[in-house]
Amino acid sequence: MYVKSYFCTFKLLILKRNYMSTLRFQAIKETLGREPIHVEEPARRSTIFGKNVFNEAAMRQFLTKDSYNSVIDATVNGSKIDRNIADHISTGMKEWAITKGATHYTHWFQPLTGSTAEKHDAFFETTDDGQAIEKFGGGQLVQQEPDASSFPNGGIRNTFEARGYTAWDPTSPAFLYGTTLCIPTVFVAYTGEALDNKTPLLRSLQVLDTAATSVAKYFDKNVTKIIATLGWEQEYFLIDKAMATSRPDISLTGRTLLGHESAKGQQLDDHYFGSIPTRALDYMRDLETECMLLGIPVKTRHNEVAPNQFELAPIFEEANLAVDHNSLLMDIMEKVAERHHFKVLFHEKPFKGINGSGKHNNWSLSTNTGVNLLSPSKTPKRNLQFLTYFINTIKAVNDHEELMRSSIASANNDHRLGANEAPPAIISVFIGSQLTKALDELEKVTNGKLSPEEKTDLKLNVVGKIPEILLDNTDRNRTSPFAFTGNKFEFRAVGSTANCATPMTVLNSIVAKQLIDFKKSVDALIDKKKMKKDDAIFNILREYVKDSKRIRFEGDGYGEAWEKEAKKRGLSNNKSTPEALKAKVSEKTIALYEELNIMSRVEIEARYEIKVEEYAMRIQIEGRVLGDIARNHVIPTAIKYQNRLIKNVQGLKDIYGSGFKKLSKEQMKLIEKISEHIEKINMGITDMIEERKKANKISSLEKRAAAYCDKVKPYFDVIRYHCDKLELLVDDELWPLAKYREMMMIK
């Protein structure tokens, strides 16, 4: 098969010899000529797992007992690490890293750009007497001051004129990346405001722990800590590096701004779960080895729906670590792609007419006693506990659906949400028929104290009937943005480029707030109405089931009928990012975060400002790139082809005299059509630039983003439409940009 394709290429190359100079044909040649690399599998993956992580095993070896205990205590209980101990830890960490070949260290953090940042410093230092030594003190471990004035800060540091510092987060272990020791850190302004995504996440996890643990005491006094667990699923595309380089839109924006759909796309569904192309498989193996070394527990890999689209998912972990691992993974994916001459596309919608990419966030709660709180069980008692967390989560999403929507809003994700392949911009919760039945029964619980008969009935027929394994495993409904899938909730609307910290912070916070309210209400019934604990819980859950009915939806989330129905139910449907983001700064949101001490008004407003500005900038960049490609690539190519046609018509005239008209009828039509498309493209670009100019003059960031969304962006479709028509008309050998079918030809 490989030989065959190589021969085809060879033929193609001979045919195209005269035009080989264009980037596109160079790219085709490179892509088709590329041999897979064939990566060796390490004998047993388990033997390399976590080898480059300063994990418990490494700490036991390199730390004193006191130091070790204090790191574990900080990880488990969030206790502070003494400065003297920090000196010991840093020495041990340095020794470990140096024995593994490290030369540098960095504080690794996640600024509000959503990606990761690092500044490397060498361990190497000179002493007063000119000796060279390897040094890394506790101070350098615990706190650093990166020159970070160019990170987005939403005005926080301008206002306070404060610098930022990074501080060690012992809950996420240090790791060795290449020859650099990376220390996961938070990034905070000297005035105390968080300048990163991690700090609010850590705060939300702590608040959730406290709230969820106090509720767990109703059921089991031994529960002293509850963690949120996250298992993300990363979707991505692979295209050949040479193809990507031939397209300025992919290079600069991560997606194709024009390009006609291929005659064969994903219609036949022959890629989904099909055999993985050899080159891609080699890439995955190499990637997975890197992940294993770094302690990222990658587990599944498979083809996705679209050609060249794949997915990778790990075993779930504690949410903070899982977020770090996802950020790290995206970085590793890009680096490994270089080795394999691939470009990995994380964009939510790289290709028109082909499925986009998401990053499902599977979320649950787990106790220190090893119980998954969102997993139904055999005993009615456990199931009442399950229902408590299950219903509280649904209620939380019901009360804060708009904030949930805002947590996944981005210019990229706008292309995906509401398109026919991804969840709609309306947040709803899917739970499946068995649990729907259970909640319907709960709704009938008597108001006030329950009779012994009713209690028995509930225990036997409602709570007791929730099976351990839900048969209609809710995966059947892929159209829901937030689905219960047997033992966890799956937030599916998250985009593939997203930093999971943002949606996870929202989910943790709203569930924490909900559990606090639940505890208060149940305690009030117990204290004031002298109800039994179980009666009180049933009474409050009944109210929640009633109050959150509108958010539950079991039908087709892609259908138009749901849009209408959702509107009736009063659910928000914020289709564009500027609209959706507003919920981030609503008074309701500010009250929520301030009450829980997760973010202050300043921190919330700063994040909003950054998001809104980023949106406008993204659309601005896309507009510029599209205008450039259309004017510098597409129009000149169309004119070149038109000139050939004109020459042809002239030639026919020379030979046939007045008979040429009949013979050149179709050519003439083509010549005119090309002119029409060129005119439309040019007009579109001129008008788009006018709108950009107007938008740039708007000083309010919010209004500017809205202008980019409503006034500038609509021209993209117009310009693209005419460019794509030209792609179909113009001689293939002249076309300068890699075509859809060519980008999808990885074998």
Judged by the rule CB under 6 A, the positions of this chain that interact with ligand ADP are: 229-231, 233, 300, 313-316, 362-364, 372, 475, 487-488
CB of residue 595 to ligand ADP, shortest distance in Å: 27
Separation between Cα atoms, residue 599 and residue 589, nearest integer Å: 10
Indicate which of Mg ion, ligand ADP, none lies near residue 364 (CB less than 5 to 8 Å, by partner kind): ligand ADP
- Token pair for 422: 């991804």
Which residues in 634-673 contact Mg ion (CB under 5 A)? none
CB of residue 496 to Mg ion, shortest distance in Å: 13
744, with CB counted inside 10 A (0-12, 13-18, 19+), is buried
CB of residue 234 to ligand ADP, shortest distance in Å: 9
Indicate which of ligand ADP, Mg ion, none lies near residue 270 (CB less than 5 to 8 Å, by partner kind): none
Separation between Cα atoms, residue 27 and residue 36, nearest integer Å: 16
The binding track of 319-358 with respect to Mg ion, each residue x by CB under 5 A or -, is ----------------------------------------
If the CB atoms of residues 310 and 716 are measured against ligand ADP, the closer one turns out to be 310
Question: What is 684-708 written as a DSSP string?
Answer: HHHHHHHHHHHHHH---HHHHHHHI
CB of residue 295 to Mg ion, shortest distance in Å: 22
Q: Which of 253, 255, 248 is nearest to 633 (CA)?
A: 248
Separation between Cα atoms, residue 492 and residue 421, nearest integer Å: 11
Q: Which of 241, 335, 251 is nearest to 279 (CA)?
A: 241
CB of residue 233 to ligand ADP, shortest distance in Å: 5
Indicate which of Mg ion, ligand ADP, none lies near residue 475 (CB less than 5 to 8 Å, by partner kind): ligand ADP
Indicate which of ligand ADP, Mg ion, none lies near residue 487 (CB less than 5 to 8 Å, by partner kind): ligand ADP
Residue 360 binding Mg ion, by CB under 5 A: yes
Indicate which of Mg ion, ligand ADP, none lies near residue 713 (CB less than 5 to 8 Å, by partner kind): none
Element (H, E) at 643: helix 635-656
Sign of CA dihedral 645, 651, 654, 657: negative
Which ranges of 100-146 does DSSP label H, i.e. alpha helix? Answer: 138-142
If the CB atoms of residues 230 and 515 are measured against ligand ADP, the closer one turns out to be 230
Element (H, E) at 521: helix 501-528
Question: What is 29-69 written as a DSSP string?
Answer: HHHHTPPP--PPPPS-HHHHTTTTB--HHHHHHHS-HHHHH
Residue appearing with tokens 């192309």: 277
If the CB atoms of residues 152 and 423 are measured against Mg ion, the closer one turns out to be 423
If the CB atoms of residues 212 and 431 are measured against Mg ion, the closer one turns out to be 431
CB of residue 360 to Mg ion, shortest distance in Å: 4
- Token pair for 424: 């709609």
CB of residue 366 to ligand ADP, shortest distance in Å: 7
CB of residue 541 to ligand ADP, shortest distance in Å: 22
If the CB atoms of residues 25 and 363 are measured against ligand ADP, the closer one turns out to be 363
Which ranges of 44-172 does DSSP label H, i.e. alpha helix? Answer: 45-48, 56-62, 65-77, 83-99, 138-142, 156-160
Q: Determine contact, residues 721/679, Cβ cutoff 8 Å.
A: no
If the CB atoms of residues 200 and 314 are measured against ligand ADP, the closer one turns out to be 314
CB of residue 282 to Mg ion, shortest distance in Å: 25
364 strand-pairing partners: 229
Separation between Cα atoms, residue 216 and residue 711, nearest integer Å: 51
CB of residue 273 to ligand ADP, shortest distance in Å: 11
CB of residue 329 to ligand ADP, shortest distance in Å: 12
CB of residue 746 to ligand ADP, shortest distance in Å: 23
Indicate which of Mg ion, ligand ADP, none lies near residue 231 (CB less than 5 to 8 Å, by partner kind): ligand ADP
If the CB atoms of residues 231 and 736 are measured against ligand ADP, the closer one turns out to be 231
Element (H, E) at 309: strand 309-314
Pairing of strands 143-144, 164-168: antiparallel
Separation between Cα atoms, residue 95 and residue 62, nearest integer Å: 7
Indicate which of ligand ADP, Mg ion, none lies near residue 230 (CB less than 5 to 8 Å, by partner kind): ligand ADP
- Give the SS3 label for residue 27: helix
CB of residue 295 to ligand ADP, shortest distance in Å: 15
If the CB atoms of residues 226 and 701 are measured against ligand ADP, the closer one turns out to be 226
If the CB atoms of residues 165 and 316 are measured against ligand ADP, the closer one turns out to be 316
99, with CB counted inside 10 A (0-12, 13-18, 19+), is exposed
Indicate which of Mg ion, ligand ADP, none lies near residue 350 (CB less than 5 to 8 Å, by partner kind): none
Q: Which of 416, 744, 386, 368 is nearest to 580 (CA)?
A: 416
Indicate which of ligand ADP, Mg ion, none lies near residue 578 (CB less than 5 to 8 Å, by partner kind): none
CB of residue 489 to Mg ion, shortest distance in Å: 11
Longest dimension (CA), the chain: 106
If the CB atoms of residues 479 and 664 are measured against ligand ADP, the closer one turns out to be 479
Indicate which of Mg ion, ligand ADP, none lies near residue 488 (CB less than 5 to 8 Å, by partner kind): ligand ADP
Residue appearing with tokens 């040649």: 29
CB of residue 510 to Mg ion, shortest distance in Å: 21
Q: Determine contact, residues 432/584, Cβ cutoff 8 Å.
A: no
If the CB atoms of residues 68 and 482 are measured against Mg ion, the closer one turns out to be 482
Indicate which of Mg ion, ligand ADP, none lies near residue 168 (CB less than 5 to 8 Å, by partner kind): none
Indicate which of Mg ion, ligand ADP, none lies near residue 176 (CB less than 5 to 8 Å, by partner kind): none
The one-letter code for the residue type at 693 is K
If the CB atoms of residues 9 and 434 are measured against ligand ADP, the closer one turns out to be 434
Separation between Cα atoms, residue 190 and residue 186, nearest integer Å: 12
If the CB atoms of residues 69 and 300 are measured against Mg ion, the closer one turns out to be 300
Indicate which of Mg ion, ligand ADP, none lies near residue 591 (CB less than 5 to 8 Å, by partner kind): none
If the CB atoms of residues 316 and 386 are measured against Mg ion, the closer one turns out to be 316
If the CB atoms of residues 279 and 360 are measured against Mg ion, the closer one turns out to be 360
Indicate which of ligand ADP, Mg ion, none lies near residue 310 (CB less than 5 to 8 Å, by partner kind): none
Q: Which of 235, 423, 217, 462 is nearest to 326 (CA)?
A: 235
Residue 711: count other Cβ atoms within 10 Å of its Cβ. 17
If the CB atoms of residues 349 and 360 are measured against Mg ion, the closer one turns out to be 360
Q: Which of 716, 712, 738 is nearest to 727 (CA)?
A: 738
- Report CA-CA distances (Å) from 380 to 138, 454, 465, 532, 708: 51, 14, 8, 17, 54
Q: Determine contact, residues 3/246, Cβ cutoff 8 Å.
A: no
If the CB atoms of residues 355 and 589 are measured against ligand ADP, the closer one turns out to be 355
What secondary structure letter does DSSP report for 117? B
Separation between Cα atoms, residue 475 and residue 222, nearest integer Å: 33
Which residue's Cβ lies closest to Mg ion? 360
- Token pair for 539: 């009474």
What is the CA angle 475-481-487, rounded to 5? 45
Size of the site for Mg ion (CB under 5 A): 1
- Token pair for 80: 């502070």
For residues 467-483, one letter each, b for 16 or more C-beta atoms within 10 angstroms of the residue's C-beta and e for the rest, the string is eeebeeebeebebbbbb
Residue 24 binding Mg ion, by CB under 5 A: no
The one-letter code for the residue type at 554 is E
CB of residue 266 to ligand ADP, shortest distance in Å: 19
CB of residue 383 to ligand ADP, shortest distance in Å: 17
In the complex, the residues that contact Mg ion under the rule CB under 5 A are 360
